[in-house]
Amino acid sequence: MVTISSNLLYIAFVLYLVATLFFGGAIKAKKDIEGKKGTNRWGKIAVFLTIIGFISQVGYFITRWIAAGHAPVSNLFEFTTFFGMCLVGAFIVIYYIYRTPLLGLFTMPVAILVIAYASMFPRDISPLIPALQSDWLHIHVTTAALGEAILAISFAAGLIYLVKVIDQSKASKRTFWLETVMFALVTTLGFVLVSTLFSSLDYKAEFNWVDKNDQAVTMEYTMPAITGPHEGELLTKGKFEPLVEMPALINAKKMNSVIWSFIGGFILYGLIRLILRKRISAALQPLVKNINLDFVDEISYRSVLIGFPVFTLGALIFAMIWAQIAWTRFWGWDPKEVWALITWLFYAAFLHLRLSKGWHGEKSAWLAVIGFVIIMFNLVAVNLVIAGLHSYAG
Amino acid sequence: MKDVKCECGHVNPHGTVLCEACGKVFDEQSKDKSLLDMRYEGSARRSQTYNKTIVDKIWNFFSSVKVGVWLIIVTLIASAAGTILPQEMYIPPTMPAEEYYEDQYGWFGKLYYELGFNNLYSSWWYLVLIAMIGISLVICSLDRVVPLYKALKAQRVTRHEGFLKRQRLFGTSGNVDVQDIATVKQRLKTKRYHVREENGDLLAEKGRFSRWGPYVNHVGLIIFLIGGMLRFVPGMYIDKVLWLREGETKVVPETDGQYYVTNEKFILENYDKDKDKTFEAAIDRAGMVVKNYQTNAVLYKRVGPAIPGEKPELEKVKEHKIKVNQPLKFEKFALYQVDYKLDELNTMSFSLTNKASGETFGDIKINLYDPKPKYDLGNGYHVEVLSFFPDFEFAKNGEPTTKSRIPNNPAFVFKMTSPEVPDGETSFVAIQQTIEPLGDNQYKMAFKGIETKNVTALTVRKDLTLWIIILGGIIFMIGVIQGAYWNHRRIWVQNKNGEIWVAAHTNKNWYGLKREIESVLSETKINIPADQIQNEKVDKEGI
């Protein structure tokens, strides 16, 4: 069952990749039949592939659920994969409302990156600790992920808006920040590629080191150490000696992964720039030239409107109900709770700005991007960096 | 202030921008604009009309969306700051917070502590922020909802030309058949529009209730915040921890001595990788994964009046296996599994032994929670417990003392009396340590063994604010769904100057409205109204 499950996920991943290419084709081909509304043959194939991929991933989800005996949303790999699945699901729904393949061209790569990122974490089926043994696990986590995914669609739409509207003929703050977003996406890919490279080489180096409580402990690196642990001593022979030693307070291993991701990101980004000979956003601009700005703006706003209630329900209300049952109180200022509140406050501010201060168009698109950054921060950093009650998800 | 009478005959309150009934533009500034600002229907809002007294100023401050958004953003940033380092309630109780932050995080930790960020969410300024958001919610809602309600109620079917022309979707058509109007009316009805007709003019409207969504959700939030405030009212909220050894019965705090609970057994289970094959890899990686924390508890209720000093008479109410996620509930209380301690010392046994011969003269078993003053061993042998230090240490002046009442490191001063030494010998006995302060003894208390018990910690919770919080949450969700998933759409089809004018407005989702209009007007001689915002843009861009 576990094998079937992981194969289904793999199939889904490949289908999403192919679908993205077809979405690209749909946009390119559209130029020839200018003026004709709706989706062309390429686009239809792309959507079809996306749906098959989605079904395959649902298959992964169900089979893994059967194998584990609980919904596969209990560790970082499972949750992030599920988030990717929701993203694709949300895209399919929004596609059938607005029928624009361009949205697919921007959403699918994000979903692919999310799933690829997820699979860098341990993929074992983990048993549930007592606090997680509740039906609210399924209810709370799935609803929260769905809400975040719908909100993430507004990021994709916002990105389309920005790629189209920002003048790429001269460098400005706007081009810089938009390119930063692109670079962040490339760096995520960099992390995935570097991790895959070293795990396929089966790189392992053991260190003896001294932690912040002055305890001697060992730690295993899976990437060559650039930043070594505090008073670290390399045990495995023939492996890379660290260049810099970190103080005990900083997790040298995570720091090392971050540095490698950036190295991967920079190389990749450099290569892309070398081939394109312009900014990534400038290279994407021709793809979006046929889209109507108001239309994308509306998709972005609509996704926030649809996603906000779902997010509130899943990430705050269901979360509070469960916290009352499991942790004796509905609210305890745990970092994950606080960041859910921050996300919620941010989108509340977004809606007020839009409704009353008339922040449409570009400003609104930037806000959608920031919102996604907050969601990703809550997903990645709060689990990995900030310790709290939710850190079992490592 | 004077009310404004419109040429259509409707009397509008002072400050109105668009006539509530016909939509004629009063405001001079709006007259020049090609599109109307339709927010709040151009009604007379207190905050936009008065700004003289101090009350006006406060009202205007809190009714401003700009202020509201700033309050949200500041709260957001403050909340984020509180997650940089753990809050004081989450740090281990090994050392005082003052030292902990500096010890763990250096100068930054020290600064964090000095700024009071270690208890950020209960700091006065954070609470002031939340309170200001609460006030803003009330005032900004009242400022808008009342005039908006009045304006929407007073609106007539026939609208002023200037109003129609300056709608975002607007179009005119000549030579329209009467039959077309009837078709359109019928189609609008099948699309669930509420259609009103006056002098051959049509107003089709649907989803007006979605306009109340924001105000409903604000009411929900206010109720939620009030619920949160009530926690500070004595008696509304109880948060106690009850440590209970196996076999021990204790009164449940805050129940006026009405309820007692017994810990029959505390169980801690780990996942077994041989039994749970699916999890083998994960268990190998983690080392040990806990499967269950459980207290087998029995709840008792006292029968009859409480008499001080006497053992209460108890009646069993129920048995419950308290696990995480499965609290024991009774009346307004709930007991939660929150902590435990395995193998806490419970009894210690000693044998009275003759040091020279090794002969023993009986064993004593001391309950460390309730040591007896004297243990009689018969035949003239007895042992007295002169002093007992459950958690022994030497104080600074060299005297033995106890850190707590928990028997973590028990120590005794025994007086051993035997036929040979009828006056008794004194011996100080601690773990791995015996001191004979008054010279060499003939007898000693030889350590025989210990018994341990597991201890469970239960949180005793009563929260009478919960139902208010739940009510607030439900109302908020209803409001937010009402506002987000429905749209208020209006389509005007009117006779003006022998032409048919069509104008339309929605509070959001213009795409949906346009598609609906296209389908309603299809195959009639009425032109599809144009989107004047997009036209404007096209003009500007010069395409």
Of A122, A295, A329, the CB nearest to B285: A122
Query: A328 vs B271: CB contact, 8 Å cut-off?
Result: no
Average pLDDT over residues B523-543: 70
Of B290, B461, B469, the CB nearest to A129: B290
Query: A352 vs B509: CB contact, 8 Å cut-off?
Result: no
State residue A35's pLDDT score.
46
Mutation site, A338, A339, A346, A374, interface B, largest B CB count within 10 A: A338
Low-confidence winner among A196-200, A212-216, B137-141, B148-152 (lowest mean pLDDT): A212-216
Does B539 score more than 80 pLDDT?
A: no
DSSP label of B80: H
What is the residue-averaged pLDDT of chain A?
A: 88
Query: A355 vs B65: CB contact, 8 Å cut-off?
Result: yes
State residue A34's pLDDT score.
45
Q: Could you identify the residue written with the tokens 């970082």?
A: A76
Average pLDDT over residues B215-225: 96
Q: What is the dihedral of CA B117, B123, B126, B132, to 10 degrees?
A: -170
Query: A338 vs B83: CB contact, 8 Å cut-off?
Result: yes
Question: Nearest CA to CA, how far is A140 from chain B (Å)?
Answer: 14
Question: Nearest CA to CA, how far is B76 from chain A (Å)?
Answer: 5
Q: What is the dihedral of CA A360, A363, A364, A369, to 10 degrees?
A: 160
Q: pLDDT band for position A356 (50/70/90)?
A: confident
- Note the pLDDT tens digit of each residue in A288-297: 888 888 889 9
Identity of residue A171: A
Query: B334 vs A328: CB contact, 8 Å cut-off?
Result: yes
Say how far apart CA B77 and CA A44 lie, in whole Å.
Answer: 44
Query: B278 vs A306: CB contact, 8 Å cut-off?
Result: no
**Could you tell me which CATH class the domain B157-207+487-542 is placed in?**
alpha beta
Average pLDDT over residues A303-319: 95
The pTM of the full predicted model, rounded to 2 decimals, is 0.90
Question: Nearest CA to CA, how far is B127 from chain A (Å)?
Answer: 14
CA distances from B352 to B121, B319, B346, B349 (A): 58, 42, 20, 10
State residue A30's pLDDT score.
54
Which segments of B170-265 does DSSP mark as H helices, in order?
178-190, 213-230
State residue B497's pLDDT score.
84
State residue A388's pLDDT score.
56
Mutation site, A345, A384, A390, interface B, largest B CB count within 10 A: A345
How large a percentage of chain B has pLDDT more than 70?
A: 97
φ/ψ (deg, to 5) at B528: -70, 130
State residue A264's pLDDT score.
92
- Note the pLDDT tens digit of each residue in B305-334: 877 777 888 899 999 999 999 999 999 999
Domain boundaries, chain B: 45-152, 157-207+487-542, 237-342+457-462, 345-445
Query: A387 vs B281: CB contact, 8 Å cut-off?
Result: no
Average pLDDT over residues B210-233: 94
Of B72, B73, B459, the CB nearest to A328: B459
Query: A338 vs B271: CB contact, 8 Å cut-off?
Result: no
Question: Nearest CA to CA, how far is A276 from chain B (Å)?
Answer: 29
Query: B69 vs A353: CB contact, 8 Å cut-off?
Result: yes
Size of interface A-B (CB pairs under 8 A): 146
Question: Nearest CA to CA, how far is A244 from chain B (Å)?
Answer: 20
Count Cβ atoms below 10 Å from residue B432 Cβ, excluding itself: 6
Say how far apart CA B168 and CA B38 lie, in whole Å.
Answer: 10
Both tokens assigned to A53: 């991929």
Does B540 score more than 50 pLDDT?
A: no
State residue B240's pLDDT score.
92
- Note the pLDDT tens digit of each residue in A106-160: 999 999 999 999 998 888 888 898 989 999 999 999 999 999 999 999 999 999 9
Question: Nearest CA to CA, how far is B128 from chain A (Å)?
Answer: 17
- Note the pLDDT tens digit of each residue in A17-50: 999 999 988 887 655 444 445 567 888 999 999 9
Q: Assess contact for B339 and B459: CB atoms under 8 A.
A: no
Does A394 score more than 60 pLDDT?
A: no
Chain A CB contacts of B473 under 8 Å are 317, 320
Both tokens assigned to B213: 């969504």
Of A130, A298, A301, the CB nearest to B323: A130
- Note the pLDDT tens digit of each residue in B432-463: 778 887 778 888 888 888 888 999 999 999 99
Average pLDDT over residues A360-381: 91
State residue B33's pLDDT score.
74
- Note the pLDDT tens digit of each residue in B391-434: 888 888 878 888 888 888 889 999 888 888 888 888 888 887 78
Terminal-residue alpha carbon distance, chain B? 49
How long, in residues, is chain B? 543
> What is the C-alpha R_g of chain A?
22
Angle value at C-alpha B121, between B120 and B123, nearest 5 degrees: 65
State residue B124's pLDDT score.
93
- Note the pLDDT tens digit of each residue in B104-134: 888 888 999 999 999 999 999 999 999 999 9
Low-confidence winner among A213-222, B48-57, B61-70, B376-385 (lowest mean pLDDT): A213-222
Chain A CB contacts of B324 under 8 Å are 130-131, 133, 326
Q: Which of B496, B372, B431 is nearest to B23 (CA)?
A: B496
Of A67, A324, A353, the CB nearest to B278: A67
SS3 content of chain A, % helix, strand, coil (to 5): 70, 5, 25
Q: pLDDT band for position A301 (50/70/90)?
A: very high
Q: Which chain B residue shows the shortest CA-CA distance from A313?
A: B477
Angle value at C-alpha B420, between B419 and B424, nearest 5 degrees: 80
Q: Which of A341, A351, A337 is nearest to A307 (CA)?
A: A351
> What is the C-alpha R_g of chain B?
39
State residue B280's pLDDT score.
86
Chain B CB contacts of A324 under 8 Å are 466
Handedness of CA B85, B89, B92, B93 (dihedral sign): positive
Both tokens assigned to A311: 């997010």
Task: Give the list of residues 6+ apart from residue B515 with CB closer than 8 angstroms, or none.
Answer: none
At residue B464, the 3 state secondary structure works out as coil
Say how far apart CA B251 and CA B504 lie, in whole Å.
Answer: 69
Q: Assess contact for A191 and A261: CB atoms under 8 A.
A: yes
Say how far apart CA B139 and CA A285 lie, in whole Å.
Answer: 45
Identity of residue A313: L
Of A124, A131, A342, the CB nearest to B324: A131
Both tokens assigned to B465: 């604010």
Average pLDDT over residues B496-524: 90
Average pLDDT over residues B489-514: 91
Average pLDDT over residues B156-179: 89
Chain A CB contacts of B67 under 8 Å are none
ipTM, interface predicted TM-score of the complex: 0.90
Angle value at C-alpha A135, between A130 and A136, nearest 5 degrees: 90
Chain A CB contacts of B214 under 8 Å are 355
At residue B205, the 3 state secondary structure works out as strand
Of B279, B509, B533, the CB nearest to A127: B279
